[in-house]
Structure 1
Amino acid sequence: MPLYPLYALLFAETGLSAAQISMLFAIWSAVSVLAEVPTGILADRFSRRWAVVASSVLQAAGFALWIAAPGFAAFAAGFVLWAVGGALSSGAFEALLYDALAAAGAERHFPRLLGRVGAMGLLAQVPTALAATALFAVGGFTLAGWVSVGCCLVAAVLATRLRDVRPVEADAAAPPAEEPTVRAGARVIAGRPELRGLALALALLWAVDGLEEYFGLLAADWGAATAAIPLTLLAVPLAGAAGSALGGRAARLSTRTLAVVLGGAALLLAGAAVLARPGGMALVAAFYFGYQLVQVVMSARLQQHVPSVMRATVTSVAGAGSEVATLGLYAAWAFGGLPVVTAGILALALLLPLLVRRKMPRRT
């Protein structure tokens, strides 16, 4: 969406203070935590496809509010809509993808396909940055905003074409399972130690992606000219896309090997912090490559080991944990910046083999 790289500037241009902008981000995060699990349950009970469709429609409505009535109240309402929309798709999309493959007997391709989806999402940041620059030059925030609304609605239309295999259809030969609820989703995770560790590890891994919000600030702090920051940062999503795309091929790696990859990536990030020069963004990009590879593999493993009728619910429980952990990452950054966050990622790499068993009973 062309508005992505511009919305913080829109808030400032409207006259919001730094404290008000921070409050908006807090509203976004809080609603995301509260909406994550209930929306996953809705997707499992009714329709995962329409959950994804509604996600894009709600995001379009949020952007339309921002452009039509810019101000703190409209921005807050837009973030609420965006947060609920994001929660609707976060658990539903992977569940939708996995069960559609499972119904065709092709679930073994899920890690590779998930990696490709992640790679395309990261690569989209490149034309998005270029489009944002061009649209803003022609029509300012208004044009970029309405084009973003249109992009969301097009995405919603495309989502209606996704195949929605109901969990009971995918599990026709399986014994009846309990209805998806918050308690049932938590019980599935808590009742299986190996799944509990995997969900916790994945929640912490997903939280690391919050570091992306600071890459521009790092480039500026390390001496990159403001006009050159978009180009300086381009290597990061490109490297992340490569790591995500290779996640499918790395699906057979042991948890211990994945921990080594994540630890090595964290060391590269530490090296960037020590260098503290614009060239250090190359090391940040290398870190992002390793991180994306690991998180794609772990995301695929979660889908391979949860009951189909609870797939979106369990994924959303992990997503809610991730939102909470992301708040912890923001606090760690405020406390000690990149060195403290890097230490946390290294600690996660060390814990990964303890949290995730190498072999787990598979449930589709």
Structure 2
Amino acid sequence: MSVVDVVGGVGSVRRIVAQRLAPLQVAVALQGFLLWVPVEKLFMTQIGFNARSIGLMAAAYAAVVPLLEVPSGILADRWSRTWIMVCASVAVMLSTLIGGLSTNVATYIVAAMFLGVFFALNSGTVDSVVYDVVLEETGSSEQYEIWIGRVRMVEGGSFVLSALAGGVLAAWTSPRVTYFVSIPFVVAAVAAFFRFDEPRLHRATEAVALRRHIALTFRTMIRQPGMRRAVLLAALTALVSQAVFEFGPLWLVAFAAPAALFGPYWAALVSTLGIGGFLTGRLNLDRRAVMLVLAVGAPAASIILAWTHALAAVILAQIVLALLLAIVGIRAGKLLHDGVPSNIRAGISSGAGTLAWILFLPFSLAFGSIAHAYGVNRAGWIMAGATVLIAVLLVASIAGPPAPAEPEEFACQDLVELLTDYLEGTLSPQLVETLQAHLAECDGCGEYLKQFEFTIAALHQAGRGSQLDKR
């Protein structure tokens, strides 16, 4: 079905991709329309939270995520990514309901733990299905950043609208009401997910035993330096992004910002997800100059956030930092997906998310304790340090292609770059021998080759079918 449309022209392909992703975009928008998010910290202070207990709450759901994230990613690869997204919606629905009913810290922490389940199930799933849809319909991943950027734009728009509406609703009624009004939107998201035509690339290869699948997923993440770097970049970017959204409002609380400012502030902050997606589709992230701007701008914004005591400068620094991290996060996701086959893609992406939450656990405890004892500005230097590490990894990712590897050091990324030449028979005999030796030892690259050959065969078949139709 989809491969036939590939030969119909670029415009036709774009329409097909847009049609396939439309239900997913609707579902993501509805799932993100949580009216309680912009006033959550205000509501939490009303039921007894302080900076230290907020850090404890963040650590509680951060502890839940690593337990479920990689298993849910592997389950999505072996079972159904649509059903995993539906289960994630159920988890956020339960979190919203329990949160709205909470009257004390302990009960709200239970709600936060269900939110952790949502983060675990949702992590890596949406970007994996977008990547596979693009790959199925176009035969390459070149347009992935454009389409995931559009999904993030829709998601960001939903966040902005819900932030503005949530602030108004909380002012008219109470922060607690925003929780209950959010539930119908999540129910509608479930219905939209069921209308999504899930890609099937992750089922194109022969199923392997669960134990081997798990081993392949973890081995792919840790055995190659380039993949380890991409995983760490994705994890640290997710960590700092989560910290900005989780602890950013504490600056407003500390500086006694008026309650009316929380809604517009949160709307501006979450709009960076959509704007970041839009800019990613317009920027050429393969250009070194663009990546260097990101590598310099993010640490600069985080340092200003930790240093300044001016409320306007704090809000601006948070917005700039969140925007740059949104772009870096999409880039890191592409680096991850480009190096792995579809049948372990969600598992690998979830692995990066797991690492992010493992790091977020001590980060949130430390941030909360330092903010409680010395203020949020002092705690902000932890965020600045993590952002500097992101910049270092980002620069490393654009430092240029590695030197030609020796046969025994032949890496998975080398195979990805040489695969087309290998199939076309244009490689030197020595490189062919080296590549075949790597294929014999690496299960991940063997699966990747099978998937690549499957796509090429389907495209050839589609081309023949198109020619017959013209006759």
Same fold flag (TM > 0.5): yes
Match of 2:66 among 33, 43, 49: 33
**Post-superposition shift, 1:187?**
0.6
1:123 equivalent in structure 2: 157
Once the two structures are overlaid, the 10-residue window that deviates more, 8-17 or 299-308, is 8-17
- Structure 1 Cα separation of the partners of residues 255 and 49 of structure 2: 27
**Post-superposition shift, 1:247?**
1.4
2:110 equivalent in structure 1: 77
- Structure 2 Cα separation of the partners of residues 16 and 274 of structure 1: 25
How has the CA–CA distance of structure 1 residues 265 and 160 changed in structure 2, closer, same or farther, with 3 Å as cutoff?
A: same
- Structure 2 Cα separation of the partners of residues 267 and 139 of structure 1: 39
**Post-superposition shift, 1:157?**
1.1
1:199 equivalent in structure 2: 231
Q: Is the 8 A contact 2:59 2:362 kept in 1?
A: no
Q: Secondary structure at the match of 1:155?
A: helix
**Post-superposition shift, 1:253?**
1.8
Q: TM-score scaled to structure 1, two decimals? A: 0.86
2:189 equivalent in structure 1: 155
**Post-superposition shift, 1:311?**
0.7
Matches within 5 A, 1:63-212: 63-68=96-101, 70-72=103-105, 74-105=107-138, 107-169=141-203, 171=204, 179=210, 181-209=213-241, 210-212=243-245
2:390 equivalent in structure 1: 348
1:297 equivalent in structure 2: 331
- Cα deviation digits, residues 29-57 of structure 1 (max 9, x gap): 10012111111111111100110011101
Matched, 1:42 2:75: yes
Matches within 5 A, 1:220-259: 220-221=253-254, 224-232=257-265, 234-250=267-283, 252-254=285-287, 257-259=290-292
- Structure 2 Cα separation of the partners of residues 286 and 69 of structure 1: 34
- Structure 2 stretches of 5 or more lacking a match? 1-33, 371-377, 402-412, 418-447, 453-471
**Post-superposition shift, 1:156?**
1.2
Matched, 1:338 2:372: no
- Structure 1 Cα separation of the partners of residues 50 and 311 of structure 2: 29
Q: Which amino acid aligns with 2:130?
A: L
Q: Secondary structure at the match of 1:306?
A: coil
Matches within 5 A, 1:311-326: 311-326=345-360
Q: Which amino acid aligns with 1:108?
A: E
- Structure 1 Cα separation of the partners of residues 246 and 59 of structure 2: 14
- Structure 1 Cα separation of the partners of residues 116 and 284 of structure 2: 30
Q: Is the 8 A contact 1:55 1:88 kept in 2?
A: yes
Q: Which amino acid aligns with 1:105?
A: T
Match of 2:56 among 4, 10, 23: 23
- Cα deviation digits, residues 187-213 of structure 1 (max 9, x gap): 111222221211111111111102222
Q: Work out the percentage of aligned pairs sharing the same amino acid.
A: 22
Match of 2:296 among 243, 263, 266: 263
**Post-superposition shift, 1:320?**
0.4
Q: Is the 8 A contact 1:118 1:241 kept in 2?
A: yes
2:343 equivalent in structure 1: 309
How has the CA–CA distance of structure 1 residues 86 and 289 changed in structure 2, closer, same or farther, with 3 Å as cutoff?
A: closer
Once the two structures are overlaid, the 10-residue window that deviates more, 193-202 or 16-25, is 16-25
**Post-superposition shift, 1:82?**
2.1
Matched, 1:279 2:321: no
Q: Is the 8 A contact 1:223 1:278 kept in 2?
A: no
Once the two structures are overlaid, the 10-residue window that deviates more, 120-129 or 218-227, is 218-227
How has the CA–CA distance of structure 1 residues 339 and 83 changed in structure 2, closer, same or farther, with 3 Å as cutoff?
A: closer
- Structure 2 Cα separation of the partners of residues 37 and 113 of structure 1: 25
How has the CA–CA distance of structure 1 residues 331 and 357 changed in structure 2, closer, same or farther, with 3 Å as cutoff?
A: farther
- Structure 2 Cα separation of the partners of residues 279 and 12 of structure 1: 23
Once the two structures are overlaid, the 10-residue window that deviates more, 85-94 or 121-130, is 121-130
How has the CA–CA distance of structure 1 residues 164 and 229 changed in structure 2, closer, same or farther, with 3 Å as cutoff?
A: closer
For these two proteins, the number of residue pairs brought into alignment is 361
**Post-superposition shift, 1:89?**
1.5
- Structure 2 Cα separation of the partners of residues 296 and 250 of structure 1: 12
How has the CA–CA distance of structure 1 residues 35 and 294 changed in structure 2, closer, same or farther, with 3 Å as cutoff?
A: same
Matched, 1:13 2:55: no
1:216 equivalent in structure 2: 249
Q: Which amino acid aligns with 1:341?
A: M
Q: Is the 8 A contact 2:227 2:336 kept in 1?
A: yes
Match of 1:58 among 91, 109, 118: 91
Q: Is the 8 A contact 1:181 1:313 kept in 2?
A: no
- RMSD between superposed Cα atoms in Å: 3.0
**Post-superposition shift, 1:227?**
3.3
- Structure 1 Cα separation of the partners of residues 304 and 58 of structure 2: 29
How has the CA–CA distance of structure 1 residues 274 and 98 changed in structure 2, closer, same or farther, with 3 Å as cutoff?
A: same
**Post-superposition shift, 1:235?**
3.6
- Structure 1 Cα separation of the partners of residues 49 and 133 of structure 2: 45
**Post-superposition shift, 1:223?**
6.4
- Structure 2 Cα separation of the partners of residues 13 and 312 of structure 1: 39
Once the two structures are overlaid, the 10-residue window that deviates more, 333-342 or 46-55, is 333-342
- Cα deviation digits, residues 50-83 of structure 1 (max 9, x gap): 1001110121122223335655554343333222
Once the two structures are overlaid, the 10-residue window that deviates more, 254-263 or 278-287, is 254-263
How has the CA–CA distance of structure 1 residues 162 and 231 changed in structure 2, closer, same or farther, with 3 Å as cutoff?
A: same
